[in-house]
Structure 1
Amino acid sequence: MLRYLPFVLVAAFLIYCVFDVLGSDARRRRSLPAVVWLLVVVLLPVVGGVVWLLVSRSSARGGGTARRDRGPVAPDDDPDFLFRLDQERRRREQQRGAQEPDTHDGSTDTPGGTPSA
């Protein structure tokens, strides 16, 4: 059973790379047709697959500019989201302040004459 493991791993890697090529865009394929990449991956299963993964991943990063073009990844990276969140917080505080009249008359809250903390 263990002697078949390398074949199963190579087949799984080949299938992954084939589907990755088919689902890629022209930028990740470096403007080569998908058929060319499929031939490289299928004819040289391990080496072609490794080459495909290295080339497609390095071109997808695009030197760091691709991430900036997509916009923020998390909400706390988005200045517009943070601004809207701050505005909503201020609006709620103002509503809460308008609903609760100031009832503090300077009296102590605890028995014995000491103000509570």
Structure 2
Amino acid sequence: MLYLSQVLGLVTLALWLYCVFDVITTPDTLCRNLPKIGWVLIVLLFPLIGSIAWLVAGRPERTQAVTRPSAFPEYDRPGRFAATSPDDDEEFLRRCRERAEEQRRNAPGKPQDES
């Protein structure tokens, strides 16, 4: 049977591990009140007090959500070209017809017009 001190020890260990990983994975610019290396040292050297201090005073505020860069940054660019239906784009259809006509004229095995 687990005694109260053993349960508190496990809770402290879980909290400490969570805070160590949280401090390490938090970007440097989002740490509050101290540089990131200071928080790492405090959490490592003082497991219970350091973990509580990180959660209260060092962790980024919820309003500053960590934004991850998009896998496709060109989609985030304002004013980017939005794809439309090719049937609605007359310029695209005209270029397709011209390209197809040029390919027909340049096809091997066909006699060239000598005009």
State the TM bucket, normalised to the shorter chain. Answer: 0.3 to 0.5
TM-score by length of 1: 0.45
| RCO comparison, higher one (Cα < 8 Å, 6+) | 2
Q: Relative to total residues, which structure has the larger helix share, 1 or 2?
A: 1
